[in-house]
Structure 1
Amino acid sequence: MAQVLITGRIATVELGVGEEAVVEHTARIEQLAELGYIRIVGSIVGTHTPPPAPVELSPAEQAVADGEDPVVAEVEASVAESLGENDGVPPRSGRGSGLTAWQAFLDSKRIDYPADASRDDLIDLWETRPQDQS
């Protein structure tokens, strides 16, 4: 697997703002870059391999990334699931709220979306759809 040079964009326990590090180019590194915690400066080796498949964040990580309380998000998702309130709609945060879950859901509803759409784009698309598409 290729190594990449990353720069911290948001201070974390692993990397401060502006600090650089050389790391393996993994799905986790891609996820951190998408969330804005780091910036991938470039590949260390001569060729850059395609990014690995995205990984699902843990419920706590997803809630924090969305600016939500991880405990509240998990409880709300659990209650909605037990009451059957979500009608198959993936949760907005926590377990089962990733990009692939939203893509599969919109595919099941036969709703088209751009190939480069983010999870938030897919949620917005679902929430603003004409009501006859549910």
Structure 2
Amino acid sequence: MIEKINFITKTMVYQTMVTAHRKPGVSQERFKERYEQHMQMVAELCGDATPSSHTRFYPVHGADDQPVLMAGNNEPACYSVLVLMEFEHKAAFEKFCQALATEEATARIEADEAGFWDRSGMKVFEVEAHRSWGS
């Protein structure tokens, strides 16, 4: 009898997560639209230093422009988007940060964000992902 053996290769990546909040008076839909445009500009600014993956998670909002809450308390959400960025390694993340830290890039980013993003509540942190696999 021949047994079938499955091998799962674990690829190590460096991951960061960003939480961002919209400015008062900016609807969630407008924030989403502007953030998607903003990311195109950021990609142009970083060139070959873009993340290998940049996934945005936007909470679904109802007609009252509040998140559709499925569980938990009814306090306002502290973010308008959750972003998961993946890089091949930490050095790639550092290259990304350096590309966006130039005087020109910083000025363009800040000018663009001024219309929709409240940077005072933004958080960027390193994360570890743990995935569950089905059979």
Q: TM-score range by the shorter chain?
A: under 0.3
From the CA coordinates, give the structure whose radius of gyration is larger.
2
Q: Which has the higher helix share?
A: 1
Greater RCO, CA 8 A, separation 6+: 2
- What TM-score do you get using the length of structure 1 for normalisation? 0.23
